[in-house]
Amino acid sequence: MGMIQARPGPARGLLLTCLCLLLACATSAWAAPTLGLGATTGEVALAPYMSYRHDTDASDGVEDAWRRVGNGVFAPLPRSDATFGFQNGAFWFHAAIINENRAEPRWLLVQAYPLSDHIDLYVRYPDGRIEHRAGGDTLPFAARSIRYRHPNFLLDLPVGQRVELLIRVQSQSSMQVPLVLYTPSAFIEMSRDAQFAIGLYYGILLALFFYNLVLWLVLRDASYFWYLFHIGAFGLVLFCLNGLGFEYLWPDNTWLADKSVPLSISLALVGMHQFARVFLGLGERWPRGNAVSIAAIAAFVAFGIAAIIVPYRIITQAVSLAVLASIIWITIVSIVALRRGYAPARLFLLSWSMFLAGTAVFTLVAFGVLPKSFITEYGVQLGSALEMLFLSIALSYRYASLRNENERIVSDANLMLERKVAQRTSEVRNALAQLEEAHARLHDSSRRDGLTGLYNRTYFHEAFERMLRECNDGGKPLSLLMIDLDHFKSVNDEHGHLVGDDCLRWATQRIGRALRPHDALPARFGGEEFVVALPGHDLHAAVAVAEAVRQSLIAEPCISNGDTIRMSASVGVHTIEPGTIDDIDDAFQIADQALYSAKANGRDCVRSSVSAA
């Protein structure tokens, strides 16, 4: 505002016009090729013929989308693959089709991913007529054109006419939109083969389940139970991910269709971690790793509960990331168990490597890291089938290993009896050593005050006599501090003796902190009175130490039972010069007189024997 802009000259204006034209040509240069459906075409993927736009705030209506198609705003699919991971907003896809197969005027459009929430299909014919179809798992299963696990739409494609498809997809799940166009006969063949493969997979799972169920009922081994739990839970996961749960178990319950995926994944991961923990014996071989696995189990129980109330997008992304973390963790614990000599862990690791590879690939597809293909889509089924076969063998191998281990234990029993004698002898020796150590600790505790942990008055007398002799022999001074907490009786009267004890312990810590830089010997002399010996300190140095003790006590209050109690102390200082006194009682009496002088001068101060005199 208020600025004057220069008017571009003719040359500059011409340049800007050319740049705008070049930019417009660049944005509209690409257009998806029109798909021609020939007489031999039975199945064709739409990805190479589609363009797309990400409507990040999901604000565009269908008229806006058609207008953007006409303006060339839509872009080619990255990698010719409609897999984008977890995304906000809505995705629009456009394709143009010309049906040149006179024998097939009706086609079936299938989205080969069952978990999308909202799918809107708009079909525009040359005469301007637009037909709208809706799909996704927010609608009852019966709303689909054909009762099939993947969303699908029947299309009327007049021969020789250019028909445009505009598809809008919005979902809290992973944004995967692999659209495939089938003739009715090609779809029947595809669905037959797919259902056969799925039936074969679940047949293997059921056979393994009942075989190991019999073994568990006979052996009562917890590993077999958690293996059964793992088979059942993971079978439920794939039942939901493949759209079979919505098709066969809850076709009218769209809420359960939405929540079943994170719930089943959480349940499967609980079984996965628990089976690995029990099979590998982490409690004995790696206690820390066992604790981490238990924490992971608790986390997935919490995920399962949260799946009921937390939005699908948030909980599914969190659980999917946790799947990758679980894959890494189970690999780590398998390697640790193997390196610690547990032979069945080798077969366990081989089994899990197949399953974990398939699961990791499936998860990376969900996040849009890998493109969607037959291997990435069905790798988890192939890997899990092989994994469960090998795990069944691993369980048998583990049972044989345990049986051999029991036989070895029985054969080693005689040797263990001989070692017991030597062990008992060693234990007796250790017990005697512990008794001597306990006696030493008891002797030391008899010299200490039970409340503060400081040395008591008796020990201080003995130690002070030795210090006095050493100072006299070495020609060094020996100073004595008498410390008395001010008004301590009022603390006990107002707050109780328990608070008073806390204050004494607090004062001990503060005094000890102030004496730490010095070679001092503190002791509790009785009640709220403390005494400190300072070898090698003259009167000036001893007064400085005493002042540091006093400042330490008043620096901050004592907090006990919610009460804030201000503490202070009066300190008396006396220094014994070498050769001047031999009777320690005289030294105590002089220091005590200095203490009373400090109290007489208003407390919370330091007085020496010189100043008191």
Q: What domains appear along the chain, each with residue ranges and CATH number?
A: 29-182 (2.60.40.2380), 189-405 (1.20.1070), 457-612 (3.30.70.270)
- pLDDT tops 80 at residue 440: no
3 state DSSP class of 533: strand
Calculate what percentage of the chain has a pLDDT beyond 70: 82
Contact 125, 93 (CB under 8 A): no
For the residues 75-101, what does the mean pLDDT come to? 90
Q: How far apart are CA 506 and CA 510, in angstroms?
A: 6
Each residue's pLDDT tens digit, 316-349? 888 878 887 888 898 899 899 989 888 878 877 8
Using pLDDT thresholds of 50, 70 and 90, give the confidence band for residue 4: very low
Q: Give whole-number Cα distances, 472 to 99, 130, 194, 576, in Å.
A: 117, 114, 102, 9
For the residues 586-603, what does the mean pLDDT come to? 90
Structure tokens at 461: 């007398």
3 state DSSP class of 350: helix
Q: Write out the H or E segment, with its range, that includes residue 499.
A: helix 497-515
Q: Write out the H or E segment, with its range, that includes residue 112.
A: none
Residue in this structure with the two tokens 């050769």, named with its chain if needed: 579
For the residues 12-36, what does the mean pLDDT come to? 54
- pLDDT tops 50 at residue 477: yes
Q: What is the reported pLDDT for 312?
A: 81
Residue in this structure with the two tokens 């143009």, named with its chain if needed: 96
Contact 273, 291 (CB under 8 A): no
Using pLDDT thresholds of 50, 70 and 90, give the confidence band for residue 37: very high
Q: What is the reported pLDDT for 168?
A: 96
Residue in this structure with the two tokens 């990376």, named with its chain if needed: 364
Contact 423, 248 (CB under 8 A): no
Q: What is the CA radius of gyration of the chain?
A: 42
* The dihedral sign for the CA sequence 67, 71, 72, 73: negative
The residue ranking higher by pLDDT, 430 or 26, is 430
Q: What is the reported pLDDT for 320?
A: 79
Using pLDDT thresholds of 50, 70 and 90, give the confidence band for residue 451: confident
For the residues 23-47, what does the mean pLDDT come to? 75
The residue ranking higher by pLDDT, 496 or 80, is 496
For the residues 214-232, what does the mean pLDDT come to? 79
Instruction: From 223, 199, 241, select the one nearest 283 (Cα to Cα).
Output: 223
Q: What is the reported pLDDT for 5?
A: 34
For the residues 350-374, what does the mean pLDDT come to? 67
For the residues 205-231, what does the mean pLDDT come to? 79
Using pLDDT thresholds of 50, 70 and 90, give the confidence band for residue 385: low
For the residues 511-537, what does the mean pLDDT come to? 91
Q: What is the reported pLDDT for 62?
A: 94
Q: Which of 107-111, 375-379, 479-483, 546-550 has the lowest mean pLDDT?
A: 375-379
- pLDDT tops 70 at residue 396: no
Q: What is the reported pLDDT for 155?
A: 94
Each residue's pLDDT tens digit, 263-290? 988 998 898 899 889 888 898 889 999 9
Q: How far apart are CA 108 and CA 187, in angstroms?
A: 8
- pLDDT tops 90 at residue 179: yes
For the residues 167-185, what does the mean pLDDT come to? 92
Q: What is the reported pLDDT for 386?
A: 63
Each residue's pLDDT tens digit, 144-171? 999 999 999 999 999 999 999 999 999 9
Contact 371, 83 (CB under 8 A): yes
Q: Which of 115-119, 166-170, 197-201, 568-572 has the lowest mean pLDDT?
A: 197-201
Structure tokens at 613: 């005199």
The residue ranking higher by pLDDT, 409 or 300, is 300
- The three state secondary structure string of 503-521 is HHHHHHHHHHHHHCCCCCE
Say which residues have a Cβ less than 8 Å from residue 293's Cβ, sequence separation at least 6.
273, 274, 276, 277, 282, 329, 333
For the residues 513-526, what does the mean pLDDT come to? 90
For the residues 585-610, what does the mean pLDDT come to? 89
Q: How far apart are CA 60 and CA 366, in angstroms?
A: 25
Q: What is the reported pLDDT for 443?
A: 63
Structure tokens at 87: 């995304």
Contact 226, 270 (CB under 8 A): no
Q: Which of 139-153, 201-215, 529-543 has the lowest mean pLDDT?
A: 201-215
The three-point CA angle 466-470-473 to 5° equals 140
For the residues 291-297, what does the mean pLDDT come to? 93
Contact 227, 271 (CB under 8 A): no
Residue in this structure with the two tokens 């500059």, named with its chain if needed: 12
Q: Which of 86-95, 183-192, 323-332, 597-606 has the lowest mean pLDDT?
A: 323-332
- pLDDT tops 90 at residue 481: yes
Cβ neighbours of 406 (radius 10 Å): 10
Q: What is the reported pLDDT for 439?
A: 65
For the residues 565-576, what does the mean pLDDT come to? 92
For the residues 397-420, what does the mean pLDDT come to? 65
Q: What is the reported pLDDT for 107?
A: 94
Q: What is the reported pLDDT for 148?
A: 92
Using pLDDT thresholds of 50, 70 and 90, give the confidence band for residue 15: very low
Q: How far apart are CA 343 and CA 351, in angstroms?
A: 14
Residue type at position 528 = E
Structure tokens at 60: 């565009």
Q: Write out the H or E segment, with its range, that includes residue 345.
A: helix 344-366
Q: Mean pLDDT, the chain, as a whole number?
A: 83
- pLDDT tops 80 at residue 353: no
Range 234-239 contact pairs with CB under 8 angstroms and sequence separation of 24 or more: 234/268, 234/271, 234/272, 234/384, 235/202, 235/205, 236/264, 236/267, 236/268, 237/261, 237/264, 237/265, 237/267, 237/268, 238/201, 238/380, 238/381, 238/384, 239/264
Each residue's pLDDT tens digit, 362-372? 666 656 666 65
Instruction: From 586, 581, 591, select the one nearest 612 (Cα to Cα).
Output: 591
Structure tokens at 292: 């981490």
